[in-house]
Amino acid sequence: MRVCVIGAGAIGGVIAAWLARAGHQVKVVARGDHLAALQTRGLQLEDRIAGSDFTVRVDARNSAAGLGHQDLVVLGVKGPAMAEVLPQIGPLLGNDTMVLPAINGVPWWYFLKEGGQFDGQPIKALDPGGHLLTLIPAQHLVGCVVHVAGEMMAPGVIAQTAHRKLIIGDVQRGTSKRLEALGLALNQAGFEAVVSADIRRDLWVKLIGNLAFNPLAALTGMRMDEMLAQPGLVALARRLIEESNQVARALGVETGIDTETRITMARTIGRARLSTLQDFEKGRRPELEGLLGSVIELAARVHQPVPTIEHVAALTYARARALGLIT
């Protein structure tokens, strides 16, 4: 495949590395010291799952301009960067190009071809003017739930710390030959790829875990295993999970996973430093709108009280403002 990865950080870098190693034509759009390292030394992946490292050469650039049509465009940037990135990728799109946003939280496209009472409506916390919904036609979009833990260790160096699972699905629901082909390519590259007929359900399964633990990690500075050793934090996470499940259910989504099972799933992540904690520590803007603001907005739409989510969100936004990460 001709692949362009925009934003080769922790997750985008992992995807780029494995696809390049499998022989695909991978181009990477990056900036600053990371770009310079990719151009001079290549992309180094520390695979802490299997205990092996490897380096691949990728065509690294500071812009997607002039790259031509791609078979796959992976958006590895954070949700808040979509307003800057999406207007730039039009020239990459051929008739059959797939666009894979590898982001956490509620995606801007959630109600695109969703079919429910809010079909086609933007989520104001993510897309205040509804502009993002107009930039990528639904036929190009492939929903993605990322069950991969990674961390950028240095410019050009990415550590993959847990899991290799990518769930992909058509935003219009159902499956297709192109999704099956993409799933096969991802599996052959070393991922555990699953093609889902209902990607929104899978999004909620991941989102509920992120919402329950990522803000708490950012507020406490703890790894996942450290948080799970604190009974008070586990009790708080339970309330966050329960409220999130109620919002999903009000939107017609049944995750099929109860609270205790979700806590057990979190324990498999081990010593991972969650992405929001990494953002806080490294001075990057965190994905609070996708994890918290959007869920609070959706809860209001379906008249579902979420007091615990609102309280944790207030603390997390306040901490991010105090650190100068958001305004």
Residue ranges of the domains in the chain? 2-197, 201-322
Q: Which residues of the chain have pLDDT under 50?
A: none
The edge-to-edge listing of strands for the beta sheet with 2-6 is 59-61, 25-29, 2-6, 70-75, 93-101
- pLDDT given for residue 66 in this prediction: 92
Name 229's Cβ contacts closer than 8 Å, sequence gap at least 6.
none
How far apart are the C-alpha atoms of 180 and 252, rounded to whole Å? 26
pLDDT in tens, 128-173: 999 999 999 999 999 999 999 888 999 999 999 878 999 999 998 8
Query: Which CATH class for the 2-197 domain?
Result: alpha beta
- pLDDT given for residue 52 in this prediction: 85
- For 121-173, give the DSSP string: ---TTT-TTS-GGGTS-GGGBEEEEEEEEEEEEETTEEEEEEEEEEEEEETTS
Q: What angle do CA 98, 5, 177 make, to 5 degrees?
A: 25
pTM of the model: 0.92
Known catalytic residue at 206: yes
- pLDDT given for residue 149 in this prediction: 83
* CATH superfamily, domain at 201-322: N-(1-d-carboxylethyl)-l-norvaline Dehydrogenase; domain 2 (1.10.1040.10)
> Which of helix, strand or coil describes residue 100?
strand
Question: Annotated catalytic residue: which of 27, 113, 124, 206?
Answer: 206
Give the pair of three-digit tokens for residue 257: 């996973």
pLDDT in tens, 222-266: 999 999 999 999 999 999 999 999 999 999 999 999 999 999 999
Q: Which helix (H) or strand (E) holds 53?
A: strand 52-56
- pLDDT given for residue 229 in this prediction: 97
